[in-house]
Structure 1
Amino acid sequence: MKKLPIGISTLSSILNDGCIYVDKTALIHQLVTTSRYHFLSRPRRFGKSLLVDTLKELFEGNELLFQGLAIHPLWDWTKKHPVIHITFNDGVHTDRTQLDTLIIGQLKKNAERLGVKLQEGLISQQFAQLIEDSVEAYSQPAVVLIDEYDKPILDQILDSQRAAELRDGLKNLYSVLKGRDTLLRFVLLTGVSKFSQVSLFSGLNNLNDITLDARYSALCGYTQSELEHHFHDHLKGADMARVRAWYNGYNWLGESVYNPFDILLFVDKGQQFRSYWFETATPSFLLTLLKTGHYYLPQLEYLEVQESSLGSIDIDNIPAEVLLFQTGYLTIHETLQMGNQLGFVLGYPNLEVKLSLTTHLLSYLTPTNSRAPQTSIQIYRLLAKADMDGLRDTFKRFFASIPHDWYRNNSIDQYEGYYASLFYAHMVACGATTIAEDVTATGQIDLTAIVDNKVFIFEFKAIDTEQSSGTALAQIKTKRYADKYRDGRELYLVGIEFSKQTRNIVGFEWEKG
């Protein structure tokens, strides 16, 4: 029997010499011996399903799979627990009827595997019977593993009525876990987001949320040391600093990790830097939330939030920044002490997410005829040549290409940050190194962009008139923003003023620093 590939994606089979085993069982042992009911949120393709599969094999006592791993000498292999494994990972969940059919099918499948015959009845009755009868059959408390517990809701998140119906169906299932302590040895629910206990878990107050528990930050994903040790032969010749910048950085208050999906495909594709994780699913619901919420895109690089706001969401209250964090598009960069509670600074985890999400947002925030992708390519060439007049003309043509009807239909003419957001998005999408709200000793630069040995310092102003006031460039000079970058590189100071009347650039002043 082959050893179970602990803690990695099943995509490990793509590697030429077979599976690579990253042993996470020391963390698993700590988890299963400290408390009983657990919840873990991680983004998609982070190995949650493999973690669930590992726990299933462990509690079923399949000792051969764990020989040579950290947990082997610590585990009582004589105990065989009945494991109830429910997953919502497959398919798109459309309505309550389809969801109920799926749940009943999975309960029956588990019953058949465990040697239990279910009676006809409500889902809650069948689930309760499955737990009780399997405990009696095995003479051991049961283990319940529910993978992607929230996927039915997320599948319909933009349709609040349908999402609420699906939530009620799931609540009907999860409520069975309440008050069965003597029958349950271990419970784990995994998912992407965390919905409030009041709306979904119906009194399951002893659920231990380990999402932001530093001890389990590396439970899913690869740490830097794991990557360098286990993938040493496969990463020969790779620019490791660039690998880290592209794919590392996901953090849940402990050690940061790589997404396994990215690393395995990076190796398989001959060390080509691509957005492997991001391209597996376009986050259309997130794009809609960001657009309707009028978010200032540069702020996503440095977003301060309270700890309590990251705890849970509900169907009728979904702040985009919280969902961005839970789904992996933002991560924790810094912990803050905010009075009597903690706060966090959120930002992009790595270059893959920053480039990909910003590029998608750029296309989403502009009509097709604006040709945003082609404009971004042109912008990089202009920055590389420091062609400031060409840069000005390119942006003016871009904003002029957005029809006034499109502004009215999207109500963005009331949104001052829209212009600067699109400018920022182009700078990121073109491949320049960008720093939004770049901190200096005298204030914050709106945007710093770096291409080769050239540093561009931008200040934005949105004005009500059609005449430039010159205040943007004056602020850069008065506050001596350029001093931070006087290290031998070429410096360009650029003040840009957007007119809310003309919906275009009316002031573009620059000088060499």
Structure 2
Amino acid sequence: MKNLPLGVNTIASIKSQNMVYVDKTHIAWELIKHAGRFFLSRPRRFGKSLFIDTLKEIFEGNSELFNDLYIYDKWDWSQKYPVIKIDFSDGALQNRKDLDKRIYEILHDNADNLQVKLNTTRDIPGTFGELIRFAQKKHGKKTVVLVDEYDKPILDNIENSAITADMREGLKNLYSVLKGQDAHLQFVFMTGVTKFSKVTLFSGVNQLTDITLNENFSTICGYTHKDLNNQFSEHLKSVDLKKLMHWYNGYKWLGNTPVYNPYDILLFIHNKMAYRNYWFETGNPTFLVKLFQKNRYFLPTLENLVVTEEIIDSFDVERINPLTLLFQSGYLTVKKTFTRRQRMMFQLEIPNFEVKIALHDHFINAYTDLVNEKIGLQDNLYDCLEQGDVQGMVHVIKRLFSSIPWRNFTHNDLADYEGYYASVLYAFFSSLDAEIIPEDITNHGQVDMTVKSGKHIYVMEIKVVEQENMDVNKTENMEFAGKSKETKHNPALKQIQERGYAEKYRGIKGVAVHEVGLVFSKKLRNLTQNHHLSYLDL
């Protein structure tokens, strides 16, 4: 049984230590068989660095590493190219001075590797341009430039807009050289998490071909299910593959083949097949969550998100769109594409169970500040949903909002709009892996939220009112399908009944349908009324 390449990003180390290597050289061959300049965006820990290293070893002609791989009999190994590798993955740079110093170090390290002597008095663009030209002259071949984690200095400072903008200018100072040196370049490949517009970062480097959403390269990073069957069959022989897919599969960038994050699979095997949030815990979406709060984003919309390519295509530090960052960071992925009014549209979704529960736990922490109490509330809420205990569910919801610290509402009016309460409830229900239909459409309009759990369907409408008087719970239970009575005192339940929001779910045998009207008080920041009616078709 081969060893696992945990934390190993070089093909030479993988081969020398008898580690599993998933062959991506068929994709590398499609990229490098002709001169080209390419850009790829993928989330962190998705195998970008290993692919960059694979390209480096191919261009440097190290054929012994590829004798059992697809590209071996396709590539002319006598052709050896000078390779400049720029990598910002090490450490965190916190200001422009440190960035410029790091860039100089990287350029001079490359010069030493290529046995090229540089003029030490030039600025960064001059030094980089000189390195490209001198490398070509020294080795008799046009130069290859490979850039890994090109945007990391920006993302490391994303919460400080001034430093972020300064870092962007520093990187622009470097990358813009590629345009002027085009005649001396054989191949350029840049990778990172985000995709910045060419105007804001690359300053006219318009020869870069973006393959991020190219169906031919959709599996360039990550493991396919076929890869698991072929390369990891011995490691996974006792594993329920359907459960494994539910937890970790589902990332798609066009094409029909979803992929796993390699980091998840390797740590899952390493930790004796324990299902945990391996990839998610390596990142920190706190900044993203803050953006959602600041923009008053209606979280249930994440369940049925349709956007244009403009939204997911490029990132701008001056106008950060949280959906763009959510997609490019790997918290959302492409479910399907379609055409509307001659425009390509993207339906996005959360890729898998790991991301779903972990992301919504972060939303809960941010919106409620209930890190310690969260687990107990989730357990109680799950039991109520599964058992059809609406009164119990309402009691948990009251406890939930009663526990939210008052400081969360200082200098803001979050508690004044329905979207806040719907977002908190959505995050809790989603963290339980319940099926949620936000703004559930009927022929008479749309209800705020429908939640499905086991043999129970909850049709929920939310209202926010001024008054603070607490009304008693009112419950009516029916064990047959029939017309419900109007509840005049609860505007949320009244709307459900008058518009027949629950009608389409009635008639399903053995399934209980619950109409739930939740009325919140702005002053109390909690439920002031909660009525429901339940139906069971026997």
Q: TM-score normalised to the size of structure 1? A: 0.92
Distance 2:330 2:25 in 1: 24
Aligned to 1:160: 161
Deviations 1:189-211 (A, max 9, x none): 10000111111101111110000
Aligned pairs for 1:6-155 within 5 A: 18-34=18-34, 36-120=36-120, 121-155=122-156
* Identical residues among aligned pairs (%): 42
Aligned pairs for 1:206-355 within 5 A: 206-254=207-255, 255-355=257-357
Residues 1:469 and 2:490 are matched in the alignment: yes
Alignment check: 8 A CA contact 1:448 1:455 kept: no
User: Which stretch of structure 1 is more off in the superposition, 282-291 or 186-195?
Assistant: 282-291
Deviations 1:67-125 (A, max 9, x none): 12111111010011000001011111100010011111111111101000111121111
TM-aligned CA deviation for residue 410 of structure 1: 3.9
TM-aligned CA deviation for residue 396 of structure 1: 0.9
TM-aligned CA deviation for residue 240 of structure 1: 1.6
Work out which of the residue numbers 473, 483, 494 in structure 1 matches 2:516.
494
User: Which stretch of structure 1 is more off in the superposition, 382-391 or 254-263?
Assistant: 382-391
Distance 2:371 2:266 in 1: 37
With over 3 angstroms needed to count, the CA separation of the structure-2 counterparts of 1:105 and 1:406, relative to structure 1, is same
Residues 1:178 and 2:200 are matched in the alignment: no
Residues 1:362 and 2:364 are matched in the alignment: yes
Aligned to 2:530: 508
Distance 2:462 2:3 in 1: 60
Aligned pairs for 1:419-438 within 5 A: 419-429=421-431, 431-437=432-438
Unpaired segments ≥5 residues, structure 1: none
Residues 1:418 and 2:440 are matched in the alignment: no
Distance 1:481 1:94 in 2: 57
Aligned to 2:386: 384
Rg larger for? 2
Aligned to 1:201: 202
With over 3 angstroms needed to count, the CA separation of the structure-2 counterparts of 1:151 and 1:184, relative to structure 1, is same
Alignment check: 8 A CA contact 2:460 2:518 kept: yes
Distance 2:415 2:373 in 1: 20
TM-aligned CA deviation for residue 233 of structure 1: 2.0
Distance 2:216 2:54 in 1: 19
Alignment check: 8 A CA contact 2:11 2:65 kept: no
TM-aligned CA deviation for residue 311 of structure 1: 1.7
Distance 2:78 2:399 in 1: 73
Aligned to 2:478: none
TM-aligned CA deviation for residue 30 of structure 1: 0.5
Deviations 1:275-308 (A, max 9, x none): 1000012222212111111111111122121112
Alignment check: 8 A CA contact 1:12 1:18 kept: no
Deviations 1:341-390 (A, max 9, x none): 21111110111111101001101111348833331122123333333222
With over 3 angstroms needed to count, the CA separation of the structure-2 counterparts of 1:50 and 1:445, relative to structure 1, is farther
Q: TM-score normalised to the size of structure 2? A: 0.88
Distance 2:137 2:11 in 1: 38
Distance 1:345 1:383 in 2: 28
SS across alignment from 1:146? strand
With over 3 angstroms needed to count, the CA separation of the structure-2 counterparts of 1:119 and 1:318, relative to structure 1, is same
Distance 1:4 1:365 in 2: 39
With over 3 angstroms needed to count, the CA separation of the structure-2 counterparts of 1:196 and 1:496, relative to structure 1, is same
Distance 2:65 2:510 in 1: 58
Q: Which residue identity is paired with 2:209?
A: N
Unpaired segments ≥5 residues, structure 2: 472-488
Distance 1:485 1:293 in 2: 40
Please provide the CA RMSD for this pair: 2.7
Distance 1:244 1:355 in 2: 15
Distance 2:400 2:190 in 1: 47
